[in-house]
Structure formats: structure tokens, C-alpha cells
């Protein structure tokens, strides 16, 4: 990714990832940017803001690659707002507006892009709770999920949502040595659950599909993998966040 010199900064408080790039956004660089966006979008922040203010030239076809990546995310997972900013004239052309459709927003500056990211975050329903290391944390997590599902009228996924919350929280309690937190978010058409702890080590990968773990301690993420639409993890300066999603409704088209 040397040609674009990306600078990726994750603001976990604002739930926004900012990607700053420089150079020329040609087709080769756009393919590199697509890989960066694939990673950033897969982490499921509320928004990914791409700052193009240091880009000197943009190939119009490169923008189609970026737009296609955003469109694919919208079809296959929880919506993540993608904002391109930096004031480049190519972004404001009619061709670009038609290409982006509803999948990509355009802002005149980074400040404006962050404002749009904030609006995207406000559109997501969420509840959160901190927990301390202890046997009661998984039960509190299940109760939080049950209340959220009832409030958002998605009780049909509450059993699997409680299982996910319980297993992710149990893992955090077992491995972290301090308090953690759980968030439950409704990101239509998905319910999104994420648990943050202070252990920087990645979670153990579950065995391949169709293979049960051979020990009791390996069942947590295996069960999450079985019942969820998808799961993953994001490193943080002070630990990590492990997340999983459940589809709550089908989308026409």
C-alpha cells in the first residue's frame, strides 16, 4: 500500500475510522484502497471516512471500485456509512454522484465528513454496559440483550442474541484482568453485539464448519460461529473488541 501511504485511525469513542491517503488514485491504487476499505468496513464502525485532501489525481474508474466495495458491504452485512471527503473536484461530478448512489456520501472537508459520520452514528440504536470480572457478568449481558430485543421488537432473535452475549462476555471474563464492556446495537437489518476487554491477544479461532471442539473451553466462539451471521474482532490500544451479528429481517432485492 506504499503508493497511497495510508494512515488509518480508529476512534472507538466516536465509532469512526478515518483513512487518510496521499498520492494518485489510479486503478492500481484503487485496488489497494479496496483492500484497506474491506478491512475497515469488516470491523463494523458506524462510519469510515476517507480523507482524499492529499490526493493529487483521481481516475474516474477508480471511484467505481470504491463504490462497488461500499455496495457489497451494504448487501452482505450491517450498514457502515462510507464518506469520501477532501474537496477534490472529481467527487462532485454528476458521474460520481450517479455512481455512488446511496452507498457513498461526499463531504467537502474532513470536518464535514466527521459530522456526517456523527449523524450516521446517531441513526444506530444502542445500549451499553460495563462489567467487572466475575461470574455475574454473562448473566448481566443476557439481561441487557433481552431488554434491547424487547425494546426494539426483535424478540425472535433473543435466544441466539443471549447466547452470543453470554459466550463473548464469558471469554472476556476468563481472559481479561480488568473490567470490560458490552454494546448491543440495532443496525438494520442486523443486531450487532460487541464485547470489549483488556486482553490484547486475538480470540482463538473456532474449528472448521462441521467440526465440534474437542474441549469444553473451545466451545464459546464455536457456538457464536454457528448461530451468528458473522463475527470478528478489532484490536484496540487497550485490548480488543470481539463482535457478532444476527440478521433480524430479510431485505427485498
For residue 188, the model assigns a pLDDT of 80
User: SS3 breakdown of the chain: % helix, strand, coil, rounded to 5?
Assistant: 40, 30, 30
Cis, bond preceding 189 (omega within 30 deg of 0): yes
Burial of 175 (0-12, 13-18, 19+ CB in 10 A): middle
pLDDT at position 228: 94
Element containing residue 158 per DSSP (H, E): helix 158-175
pTM of the model: 0.84
pLDDT for the residue numbered 139: 94
| Cα separation, 142 vs 116, whole angstroms | 33
C-alpha cell at 144: 441487557
Same fold, 7-122 and 125-247: no
pLDDT value at residue 1: 41
Locate the domains of the chain by residue range.
7-122, 125-247
**pLDDT value at position 253?**
47
User: Would you say 127 and 183 are in contact if contact means Cβ atoms under 8 Å apart?
Assistant: yes
CATH class of 7-122: alpha beta
| Span 60-107, pLDDT tens digits | 889 999 899 988 887 777 889 999 998 888 898 888 888 898 889 999
Q: What is the pLDDT of residue 161?
A: 97
Burial 87-109 (b: 16+ CB within 10 A, else e): ebebbeeeebeebbeebbbbbee
User: Quick one: pLDDT at residue 151?
Assistant: 97
Question: Domain 125-247's class?
Answer: alpha beta
What are the residue ranges in the chain where pLDDT is below 50? 1-2, 253
Q: Which of 236, 237, 212, 231 shows the shortest CA–CA distance to 222? A: 212
pLDDT of res. 37:
93
Residue 27: in which H helix or E strand, if any? helix 27-42
Amino acid at each position: 500500500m506504499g503508493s497511497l501511504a495510508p494512515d488509518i485511525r480508529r476512534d472507538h469513542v466516536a465509532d469512526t475510522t478515518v483513512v487518510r491517503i496521499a498520492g494518485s488514485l489510479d486503478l492500481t491504487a484503487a485496488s489497494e484502497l479496496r483492500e484497506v476499505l474491506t478491512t475497515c468496513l469488516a470491523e463494523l464502525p458506524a462510519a469510515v471516512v476517507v480523507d482524499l485532501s492529499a490526493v493529487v489525481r483521481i481516475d474516474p474508474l477508480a471511484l467505481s471500485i470504491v463504490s462497488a466495495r461500499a455496495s457489497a458491504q451494504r448487501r452482505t452485512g450491517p450498514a457502515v456509512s462510507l464518506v469520501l471527503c477532501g474537496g477534490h473536484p472529481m467527487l462532485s461530478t454528476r458521474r460520481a454522484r450517479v455512481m455512488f448512489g446511496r452507498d457513498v456520501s461526499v463531504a467537502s472537508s474532513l470536518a464535514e465528513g466527521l459530522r456526517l459520520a456523527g449523524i450516521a452514528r446517531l441513526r444506530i440504536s444502542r445500549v451499553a454496559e460495563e462489567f467487572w470480572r466475575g461470574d455475574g457478568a454473562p448473566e448481566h449481558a443476557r439481561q441487557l440483550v433481552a431488554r434491547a430485543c424487547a425494546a426494539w421488537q426483535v424478540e425472535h432473535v433473543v435466544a441466539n442474541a443471549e447466547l452470543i452475549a453470554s459466550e463473548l462476555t464469558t471469554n472476556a471474563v476468563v481472559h481479561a484482568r480488568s473490567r470490560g464492556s458490552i454494546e448491543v446495537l440495532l443496525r438494520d437489518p442486523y443486531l450487532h453485539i460487541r464485547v470489549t476487554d483488556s486482553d490484547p491477544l486475538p480470540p482463538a479461532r473456532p474449528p472448521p464448519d462441521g467440526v465440534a471442539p474437542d474441549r469444553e473451553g473451545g466451545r464459546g466462539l464455536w457456538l457464536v460461529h454457528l448461530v451468528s451471521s458473522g463475527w470478528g474482532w478489532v484490536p484496540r490500544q487497550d485490548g480488543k473488541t470481539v463482535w457478532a451479528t444476527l440478521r433480524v429481517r430479510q431485505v427485498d432485492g
